[in-house]
Amino acid sequence: MLRFVVRMVKFSGKYKRMLLLSFLLSFLEGILQSVPILCIWQAIDGVLNQTMNPDKVKMISFVLVGSLLVRMVLRYWFNALESGAGFEICERERLSLGEKLRHFPMGFFTEGNLGNVTSALSIDLPFIEEHGMDALDKVINGYVTSFIGTCMLFYVDVRIGLVTLCTFLVAIFLLRWIDKISKEQSKTRQYQQSKLVGAVLEYVQGIGVIKAFHMGEEKAQNVTEAIESTKEHSIGYEEALTIPYFIYKGWFSVGIALTITLSAYLISTGQLNTSMGIAVFIFIFSLYTPGIAFASLSAQVRVMEAGLNRYENVSKVEEMQEGRVKEVRNKREIEFKDVNFLIEEGSTTALVGSSGGGKTTIANLIVRFWDVQKGEVKFGGTNIKDLKTDTLLSQFSMVFQNVYLFSDTIENNIKFGNPKASKVQIREAAKKARCHEFIMELENGYDTVVGEGGSTLSGGEKQRISIARAMLKDAPIIILDEATASVDPDNEYDIQMALDELIKNKTLIMIAHRLSTIKNADQILVVEEKRIIERGTHEELLKREGRYKVLWDKRMKASSWEIAQQV
């Protein structure tokens, strides 16, 4: 457990001094815990030897009350320092991890790590915040009290001191046994928690699809199995520690019995003062109390260590390196070196091709959600890896099919595009995005709080709000994932008008699903199997009779289909 103390001190960083000072206060309080026993011994000795008098009573009372008052002050100071340090440390780590998440590659979030991140932030750090400082207090106080108490018993009688020392030495080996089991079980427990969180998140986030395809029972079964598995592992955790706990705590009972028996024998043979022996009888129970508590404390500490391991594994994920260039000094053109294509400032570029071919990957590489493994992506003649992330992203507004709105007011969701925007600017952007009218029809207008993800609005309404957000940002380059592909005809017209406003005088990069929307693009890139296999204008590509022509013909055929009437 001392390793845990050392680890927490290292984890505390700049708050190390606060923790070390709190340890000193805990040490002093541990020393003072023995004062009441000394007072009891003096009182018993005075009564048995008939030496008790008013002056001695006053002295004992003064020492007892004085030690208790000092302990109260030390405890208050200790709690203020240690708890304060705990909250400061966890706040720092939450903010630090939140900042790091911005610089993690997108692949991290698509490789099953959502449960780990959520668990680290919502389970591990809160558990450490709530129990970590208390555990440190118990560990330090327990060791200090046990050490001082054993020294006192050696002073009373070497033989009693040896019995106590042997009791603690055997207990240390038993505690290592408990630690080993706790460590193994804690890893399993953390893994199960992560699986449970992941299963619940998947179920909640996909509830619409689950209901639409009548898979509620099947998916609910997955969550049920995760819950049952967590329960079984939790029970297994307790069962694995039941016998070690019983033996560990039972050993202290043996130690108490041996100490009392030896003390009684020494009193009966005149080798130990009666008052001192009685004091030993009382003291031995409080002496072993911290040691007995180490059994349950050990499991708690191991859970915290497992939580720290998971948190540190998440926080140690390699970040995408931050560039240093703060300005775009040249024309805002985008160049893919080795892939050999250029998106000129003010032009319209369309990306087409089969699903999974690499269209979205190109868009992600442009805004550096991913880093290229070979070659370079340049923006304004500068490698985007050399640009500061905020500098790069300030140049882009993105509108995708799957719109995410935050659980906040509509005004704040639009204002996300420009936190400094005034109410007038927000409403002007909303009018251009064709969403002002439906917002004003809502009960609270712009102050209406939308559900998480925008669940209280229709798809078309969410899309128009996202366009207003992009307008408010007013970035020079727009990346557009066909925003009208999954909305009804009524909304499609409004969204198309809003998009026309958005892209005026902008560089436009379109991930196109409806080829009819890209006929006037300055260049069309056909992306298949992670490669650009064709490029040119609409007319040029049709003349080549290549892949684009095949996609176009399929689109034209699909657009003319109709439902045949049954006779």
14-60 pLDDT, tens digit each: 888 887 888 788 778 877 877 887 787 778 777 777 777 888 888 88
Please report whether residue 108 resides in a domain: yes
Report the C-alpha gap between 309 and 314 in whole angstroms: 9
Exposure letters 342-373 (e unless 16+ CB within 10 A, then b): ebeeebbbbbbbeeebbbbbbbbbbbbbbebe
CATH number, domain containing residue 215 = 1.20.1560.10
The total number of structural domains that make up the chain: 2
Q: Are residues 266 and 356 in the same domain?
A: no
Is the CB of residue 18 less than 8 Å from the CB of residue 46? no
Find the domain containing 431 and state its range.
334-559
Number of other residues whose CB lies within 10 A of the CB of residue 415: 22
Residue 211 contacts by C-beta under 8 Å, 6 or more apart in sequence?
none
Q: Are residues 215 and 350 in the same domain?
A: no
* H helix or E strand, kind and range, residue 492: helix 489-502
Report the C-alpha gap between 61 and 79 in whole angstroms: 27
Instruction: Write down which residue in 256, 285, 315 finishes a domain.
Output: 315
Q: Are residues 364 and 298 in the same domain?
A: no
Please report whether residue 3 resides in a domain: no
Please report whether residue 567 resides in a domain: no
Please report whether residue 71 resides in a domain: yes
Q: Are residues 340 and 248 in the same domain?
A: no
Provide the pairing of β-strand 523-528 with 531-536: antiparallel
Place of tokens 């560089």: 507
Q: Are residues 140 and 279 in the same domain?
A: yes
Q: Are residues 282 and 338 in the same domain?
A: no
Q: Are residues 259 and 371 in the same domain?
A: no
Instruction: Write down which residue in 283, 315, 347 finishes a domain.
Output: 315
Is the CB of residue 241 less than 8 Å from the CB of residue 188? no
**What phi and psi values does residue 326 have, to the nearest 5 degrees?**
-100, -10
Q: Are residues 245 and 286 in the same domain?
A: yes
Q: Are residues 177 and 242 in the same domain?
A: yes
Please report whether residue 4 resides in a domain: no
HSE-up of residue 477 (Cα within 13 Å, Cβ side): 23
Q: In the predicted model, what is the mean pLDDT of residues 94-123? A: 74
pLDDT of residue 162: 93
Q: Are residues 217 and 353 in the same domain?
A: no
Residue-wise pLDDT for 508-566, tens only, equals 898 876 676 788 889 999 988 888 899 999 899 888 888 888 888 887 776 655 544 44
Q: Are residues 292 and 216 in the same domain?
A: yes
Q: Are residues 81 and 111 in the same domain?
A: yes
Report the C-alpha gap between 130 and 83 in whole angstroms: 9
Report the C-alpha gap between 90 and 94 in whole angstroms: 6
Please report whether residue 34 resides in a domain: yes
Please report whether residue 523 resides in a domain: yes
334 alpha-carbon distance from chain centroid:
35
Residue-wise pLDDT for 168-191, tens only, equals 999 888 888 887 877 777 667 766
Instruction: Write down which residue in 267, 287, 315 finishes a domain.
Output: 315
CATH number, domain containing residue 477 = 3.40.50.300
